[in-house]
Structures are given as structure tokens and as C-alpha cells.
Amino acid sequence: MISALPPAAAIFLAQGTGGESRSLFRDLFGAGSGWGSFASAVLGFAVVFAVASALPVLFTWAERRVSGRMQQRRGPNRVGPFGLVQAVADGVKLMFKEDIIPANAERFLFALAPGLVLAGMIAAFALIPFSERAIVVDAPLGVYLLAALLSLQVLGVVMAGWASNNKWSLLGAMREAAQMVSYEIPMGICLLIGVLSFSTLSLREMSLAQADGWLNVGNWLIFRNPLFAFPAFVVLYVALLANTKRAPFDLPEAESELVSGFHTEYSGIRFSFFFLEEYASMFLVSALAVCMFLGGWNIPFLPGSVVTGSVGAEILAALVLIVKSFALVFVMIWLRWTLPRIRIDQVMNLCYKYLTPIAFVCLIGTCWWELR
């Protein structure tokens, strides 16, 4: 239900899902309910929208520069210093390009699909804890809500492919549906491992539980339960890679096979929405993995008290989580320009024959680990 709502409404309702919810914006307005809670949701949405809009610009530039280095070429270097403004120039160009809707397309669904994909991604950003207080919504059901919002992507992609009235777009949409629905199984099992380990669905509580320990990394889930959590982290990362349609799982787009897949008929600003969602989701899923398995905002070798309390500590904590997430995003970019695209049968085999059984073994092993 919440995943089908506009981002601001989803944020507002998520704050009332039960339990104590703490965030910087709620503390700022002294919000417990009513207008104060609504005002905190609106301000939080404004910040989330700004961050979610800026990240694709940065990652577009980063991917072009990294791919240029890997292919022994310069990459973008003409617009702005080091080509930093190239992505902004591309965005401005797309805003002024003609917005074309095919004559035989289902016009309402065709127009709705890009916004639906983007709305789910923006709402999910509200659930990411950048520090103990720098979080828009500390929902007790945070992991559940985030998984629900991520699954909204497949609805938008299938809607776009079907509404385009193009067989290549429909094929790309069906590939995306098969891929995402399949990989949500190992992804969900791996998320359960984090829930079982910390006995909470709140990403903020998970990050707090990973503070201190040996060299301040001993309580990180991959070190706390290395036998089962580390392989679960790898499985989760691969599943999230498929969830974001990144190579080698970019079959829904597959330019060499399907012209451009599910967004073949899109142009202008609607076309850019799909790429805004993809690049922002790279950071979103990386931050999810960091909060659950890699200690959240906690810094190795420094006690947890260093990143809690003062404003400076909160900023430091946010920077730490961002750096960890950027490292995982870099791996996504690295894999794209290293591995070839795999066939759809290989995609399904990897999910059902390997990742899902490994995830089940890790889940059962985690149960034993926590009860021993």
C-alpha cells in the first residue's frame, strides 16, 4: 500500500508505522504527529529529492571517467573542469528535446511509467540512515518498506514496455519482470539474515548495533558472523546488481539485441527518468548493503562515540557512510566495463541453481549461529 503512494505521502505515512521514530527533521519540528510530522515529511522529501537528483549527475560523470580510464581514453573533459558539467549539459539538452508519444501507445500508462519508477526510488531514500539522527524516516519496518519500494521498479518497467506498443520494448519488460522477481528471492533471504542477526527491521538500529567491538569492526555483520554473513553479503550484492539492471544483468535494455529495450520509444525528459532512477538506485542499494553488513556509518579503529552526539560527529558519520557506498558503486561501474552481458537462461540459472540455495544455507546457518 505505502509503496504505491507518492514519495511525500509515503514518507508521512511511514512515520506512523508504529514504534519510536527519531530523525533530524522530526527533532527540528518537535514532531510527534499532525502538522509538525507533515512539515518534517515535506522538508525531508525536499532534501531526499535534492540528493537523489544530484547523485545521478555525479555517477554519470564518474562512470564515463572510469570507463575512459579502463579503455585508455580521456572520457568527458570539455564541459567544465574535468568534464564535471557534462552530465548537467546532457540533462539540459534532454529537457528541451521533443517529448514524443507513439500514436498507438497507451498514452496514460506510457506517461505514468517513468514517474512511477522515479517515485519509488525517491521514497526509498527517506529510509536510509546517514547517521544516528540524519535520517528522514526511522521506520520500525524500514527494511520491509525499502524492499517494497524497490520492487516498484518492475511495475514501472513492465508498464513502460507494454504501453509502448513495441515488441522490442515488451521483450525488454518481460526480461526485467523475470529477472527482478527471481532475484528478489535471494535478496529477500539475505535481508532476513540481517533482520535475524540484529532482531530489528530498522536500518538505523542495525547500524547502531554494529558499533564498537574489536577495532570497531568486530560487530560488523560480515565479521560478527563471517562463516555465513560474508557469503550472504556477496549474494545480496549480486542480487542488488540485477535489481538495478546493471551489467552483466542489463538484459532489459540490451542495446545490441532490443534496440534499447523497455525505453526504446521514450524521448526527452521521460527517457532521462529511467536513467536517473538507475544511477540513484546504485547508491541506494549500496547504502542498504553498507547499513546491514558493513557497519553503517561506523569507522574502523575509532569508537562508536566518535560519530554520535555533536553536529560535527553527525557530518563525519554521514561522510563515512557515503564513502563506503561510493566504494560499492565503483565496483558496480568496474563490473560493467569488465564483464560481458550474459544470456537470459544464464541469468535464471545463476539465481535459482546457485544464489538461492547459497542464500538458504546462509539463512539456516545464521539461525544456528545466533542460537548456539
Kindly tell me if the per-residue pLDDT of 19 is higher than 70: no
Is the residue at 133 inside a domain?
no
Predicted pLDDT of residue 123: 87
Q: Residue written as cell 557497519?
A: 295
Predicted pLDDT of residue 297: 92
Is the residue at 14 inside a domain?
no
Give Cα 187 distance to the centre of its chain: 13
Is the residue at 145 inside a domain?
no
Residues 224/216, Cβ–Cβ less than 8 Å:
no
Kindly tell me if the per-residue pLDDT of 259 is higher than 70: yes
Is the residue at 255 inside a domain?
yes
Q: What is the mean pLDDT of the segment spanning 7-35? A: 49
Bond prior to 7 in cis (omega within 30° of 0) = no
Give Cα 237 distance to the centre of its chain: 11
> pLDDT tens for residues 270-317?
988 888 888 999 999 999 999 999 999 998 888 877 777 788 888 899
Residue 161 CA to residue 331 CA, distance in Å, equals 29
* CA-to-CA dists, residue 285 to 28, 95, 135, 302, 328, angstroms: 28, 27, 16, 25, 9
Average pLDDT for the chain: 86
| Burial readout 76-91 (b: 16 or more C-beta within 10 A, e: otherwise) | beeeeeebebbbeebb
> pLDDT tens for residues 190-223?
999 999 999 999 999 999 999 888 888 889 999 9
**What is the count of structural domains for the chain?**
1
Q: What is the mean pLDDT of the segment spanning 74-92? A: 88
Return the minimum-mean-pLDDT range out of 25-29, 144-148, 164-168, 211-215: 25-29
Residue 22 CA to residue 162 CA, distance in Å, equals 41
> pLDDT tens for residues 104-159?
899 999 999 998 998 888 889 989 999 888 888 888 888 999 999 988 888 998 99
Is the residue at 31 inside a domain?
no
Is the residue at 327 inside a domain?
yes
What is the extent of the structural domain holding 64? 54-107+162-371
Is the residue at 324 inside a domain?
yes
Is the residue at 76 inside a domain?
yes
Please state the pTM of the whole predicted model: 0.88
**Rg (alpha carbons) of the chain, rounded to whole number:** 21
Of residues 66 and 259, more confidently modeled = 66
Percentage of the chain exceeding pLDDT 90: 44
Predicted pLDDT of residue 8: 44
Kindly tell me if the per-residue pLDDT of 267 is higher than 70: yes
pLDDT grade for 3, boundaries at 50, 70 and 90: very low
Cell (9 digits) for 112? 505514468
Predicted pLDDT of residue 5: 45
Residues 248/341, Cβ–Cβ less than 8 Å:
yes
